[in-house]
């Protein structure tokens, strides 16, 4: 396992779970062949339903289910850390899910779970594009930062990106690397995606690995794509504007430490 090289996978998932898993398997293999020691899948990688209730019928209990089985198997088979985008998990309500991002180590063991906190309830461009995630998703409550061979790693999902206070909490827990599965819309992505991803890297002086959905989906939705890895100086190391594929970059923790020493903004905070 290469403890420096990371990969972000970009997909255009559809309503068929098995087809999505086959595509994810292909792209994970491609990332591993390129030397990645950690692979990050996009939000909703396993199912992008024809309607919002489709994910409810595919929700899984923690520790069992075909999607979790797939993630554990892939991590163990390839000997890599695998950040499982988001998958629908059982929630308190029968007609809702928790959008859970599960992290597996290179032995295929789930070592962390983050439930998406901020839910995308918006009406874009005069109501022509409307999203109400809270109708089918229960929000999570806890920030997640874990130890990994790639550094202290924070986990966030998509709309979380717009809430900088969340990442300050992560920073206080030692975050050096942020993984961000996402499915930004074409409208918001064009306007804000790159700016926000790079801003989170710059203000927290950390690496960001952002894995996005990118393309047209059978439910009529279009996602922005532009998966990328950004270094602590805000430089985009690698990116994929559209379509399915893999973004690869090396994490240089000595560079991260050097940037934090030369620009000690983190220690200058007064609020």
Listed as ranges, residues in the chain with pLDDT below 50 are: none
pTM for the complete prediction?
Answer: 0.97
Task: Give CA–CA dist 265/168, Å, rounded.
Answer: 12
Contact 148, 178 (CB under 8 A): no
Catalytic (active-site) positions: 43, 116, 158
Indicate the CATH number of 5-268 among 3.30.479.30, 1.20.120.530, 3.60.110.10, 3.10.180.10.
3.60.110.10
200-254 pLDDT per residue, tens: 999 999 999 999 999 999 888 899 999 999 999 999 999 999 999 999 999 999 9
Domain ranges of the chain: 5-268
């Amino acid at each position: 396992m290469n403890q420096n090289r990371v990969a972000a996978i970009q997909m255009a998932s559809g309503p068929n779970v098995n087809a999505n898993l086959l595509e994810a398997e292909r792209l994970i293999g491609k990332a591993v062949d390129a030397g990645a020691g950690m692979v990050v899948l996009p939000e909703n990688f396993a199912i992008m339903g024809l309607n919002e209730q489709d994910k409810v019928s595919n929700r899984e209990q923690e520790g069992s289910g075909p999607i979790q089985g797939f993630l554990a198997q892939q991590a163990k088979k390839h000997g890599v850390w695998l950040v499982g985008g988001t998958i629908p998990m059982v929630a308190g309500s029968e007609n809702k899910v928790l959008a859970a991002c599960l992290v597996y180590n290179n032995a295929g063991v789930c070592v962390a779970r983050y439930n998406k906190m901020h839910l995308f309830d918006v009406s874009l461009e005069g109501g022509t594009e409307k999203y109400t995630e809270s109708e089918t998703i229960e929000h999570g409550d806890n920030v997640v930062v874990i130890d990994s061979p790639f550094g202290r790693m924070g986990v966030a999902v998509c709309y979380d990106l717009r809430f900088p206070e969340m990442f300050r909490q992560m920073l206080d827990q030692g975050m050096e690397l942020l993984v961000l599965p996402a499915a930004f819309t074409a409208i918001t992505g064009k306007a804000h995606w790159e700016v926000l991803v790079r801003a989170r890297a710059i203000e927290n002086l950390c690496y960001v690995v952002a894995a996005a959905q990118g393309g047209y989906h059978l439910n009529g939705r279009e996602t922005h794509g532009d998966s990328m890895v950004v270094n602590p100086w805000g430089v985009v190391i690698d990116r994929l504007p559209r379509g399915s594929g893999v973004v690869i970059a090396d994490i240089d923790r000595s560079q991260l430490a050097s940037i934090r020493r030369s620009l000690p903004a983190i220690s200058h905070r007064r609020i």
